[in-house]
Chain A
Amino acid sequence: DIQMTQSPSTLSASVGDRVTITCRASQSISSWLAWYQQKPGKAPELLIYMASTLESGVPSRFSGSGSGTEFTLTISSLQPHDFATYYCQQYLSFSPITFGQGTRLEIK
């Protein structure tokens, strides 16, 4: 299985901050990477796919970059409703699809 490792596990930040979350794959996954936001008690929501393509309706303050084994999700200016847990997911193949362990973004 391809292991996905996110860092940090927890990130404290303030409204208006620029934050970056990193996701590393145990082997090259080209650009087959997605990012999700999950709020407590809710299903995850797709933010970005193909490493850097913004899903329709997602604010432009979210951006993704990277390829191969290292990827980043950046939020350019944190808004109050951005405090949530973020997951990366690789889809190089369905054998199997794997997620990172999550990064909890909390208010400082």
Chain B
Amino acid sequence: QVQLQESGPGLVQPSETLSLTCSVSGASISSHYWSWIRQPAGKGLEWIGRIFTIGSTKYNPSLKSRVTMSVETSKNQFSLKVSSVTAADTAVYFCARVGSTVGAAYFDLWGQGILVSVSS
């Protein structure tokens, strides 16, 4: 059974860098595209970006200047960094697997999510 688990600090200082990791178990990280999605409390879903193991990335233009995603295949993990955070970056962050059908860019498996608060 494939599972995703987010980890990282739950509190980040304003202007600092938010760093999260998604650990994948039950499947090779090399076999899919992977994404990060976030959800502020009581609000909708915002796609942050996606990555493939060869380092191919695509980011939401609204966040592109502050976002970096990377993969560590030896650990079967992928990561997210968001720099210069503000209170507007406070949200539950989900990692997710991109579906494997042709042309797929939907998310067929999600982590449980991790709440990250930006506050001093």
User: Is chain A's binding surface mostly helix, strand, loop or mixed?
Assistant: loop
Residue numbers in B under 8 Å from A1 (CB-CB) = 61
Residue numbers in A under 8 Å from B107 (CB-CB) = 34, 36, 44, 46, 89
Min CB distance A51 to B, Å, is: 11
Tell me how many residues of A have a C-beta within 8 Å of chain B: 25
Given contacts A49-B101, A99-B46, contact A94 B106 (CB under 8 A): no
Residue numbers in B under 8 Å from A98 (CB-CB) = 47
Verify if B31 is at the interface (C-beta below 8 Å from A): no
Binary interface profile of B, 86-120, with partner A (CB < 8 Å = 1, else 0)?
00000000101001010111111111110000000
Verify if A45 is at the interface (C-beta below 8 Å from B): yes
User: Is chain B's binding surface mostly helix, strand, loop or mixed?
Assistant: loop
A97 to B46, CA, bound (A): 8
Q: Is the CB of A94 within 8 A of B50?
A: yes
Given contacts A99-B45, A101-B44, contact A89 B112 (CB under 8 A): no
Residue numbers in B under 8 Å from A50 (CB-CB) = 101
Verify if B58 is at the interface (C-beta below 8 Å from A): yes
Binding site for B on A (CB under 8 A): 1, 32, 34, 36, 42-46, 49-50, 55, 87, 89, 91, 93-102
Verify if B62 is at the interface (C-beta below 8 Å from A): yes
Residue numbers in B under 8 Å from A32 (CB-CB) = 103, 105
Given contacts A99-B45, A99-B46, A102-B44, contact A43 B94 (CB under 8 A): yes
Highest count of chain B CB atoms <10 Å: which of A36, A43, A44, A45: A43
Which of B44, B47, B96, B109 makes the CB contact (< 8 A) with A96?
A: B47
